[in-house]
């Protein structure tokens, strides 16, 4: 059985650890590494896209990081309860034409008993910025 510590129910310390682990993994821009934090049958809503299962997550992330160049992310714990965590985040990236963006969002995460994320709901907005406005 796959496990991904820390396991729920979360405390402040373990919720903060889970958020930091997610930030570190996503900043690797490695779809193989990131997708292993999710259940085989994970359910996502990312913006207006619905993604089901670890293999679709891997494909989605591969496509994402081909488009979002120089990706850098910062996550912040907003709230937690038992097996759920709410996070706010922002990340910066550049498109192939050289335009920089800062994307702001909120995520709701639900974990199974083994510490794998089974549901992820993300609402995200993009803001075009100048390179000298980057903060990350």
| pLDDT, tens only, 50-60 | 999 999 999 99
The pLDDT, as a whole number, for residue 27 is 98
Q: What angle do CA 91, 125, 65 make, to 5 degrees?
A: 45
The pLDDT, as a whole number, for residue 17 is 98
The span from the CA of 58 to the CA of 94, in Å, is 21
**Which whole-number Å values give the CA distances from 76 to 14, 44, 47, 59, in the listed order?**
13, 19, 19, 26
The pLDDT, as a whole number, for residue 69 is 98
Q: Tell me what percent of the residues of the chain surpass a pLDDT of 90.
A: 99
Q: Is 42 exposed, middle or buried (0-12, 13-18, 19+ CB in 10 A)?
A: buried
In terms of residues, how long is the chain? 136
Q: What mean pLDDT is reported for the chain?
A: 98
Q: Is residue 1 predicted with pLDDT exceeding 90?
A: no
pTM, entire model: 0.96
Residue 9: strand, helix, or coil: coil
- Phi and psi (nearest 5°) for 128? -70, 135
The arithmetic mean of pLDDT across residues 18-31, rounded, is 98
Question: Starting at the edge strand that comes first in sequence, how are the strands of the sheet with 84-94 ordered?
Answer: 49-52, 38-46, 117-129, 100-111, 84-94, 69-81
**Which whole-number Å values give the CA distances from 66 to 6, 49, 50, 73, in the listed order?**
30, 17, 19, 16
The pLDDT, as a whole number, for residue 68 is 98
The arithmetic mean of pLDDT across residues 113-130, rounded, is 98
Q: Is residue 4 predicted with pLDDT exceeding 90?
A: yes
């Amino acid at each position: 059985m796959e496990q991904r510590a820390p396991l729920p129910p979360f405390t402040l310390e373990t919720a903060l650890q889970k958020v930091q682990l997610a930030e570190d993994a996503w900043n690797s821009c490695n779809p193989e590494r990131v997708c292993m934090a999710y259940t085989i049958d994970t359910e996502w809503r990312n913006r207006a896209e619905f993604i089901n299962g670890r293999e679709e997550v891997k494909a989605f992330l591969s496509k994402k990081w081909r488009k979002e160049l120089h990706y850098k992310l910062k996550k912040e714990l907003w709230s937690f309860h038992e097996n759920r965590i709410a996070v706010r985040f922002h990340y910066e990236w550049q498109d192939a034409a050289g335009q920089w963006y800062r994307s702001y969002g909120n995520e709701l995460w639900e974990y199974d008993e083994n510490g794998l994320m089974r549901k992820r709901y993300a609402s995200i907005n993009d803001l075009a910025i100048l390179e000298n406005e980057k903060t990350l």
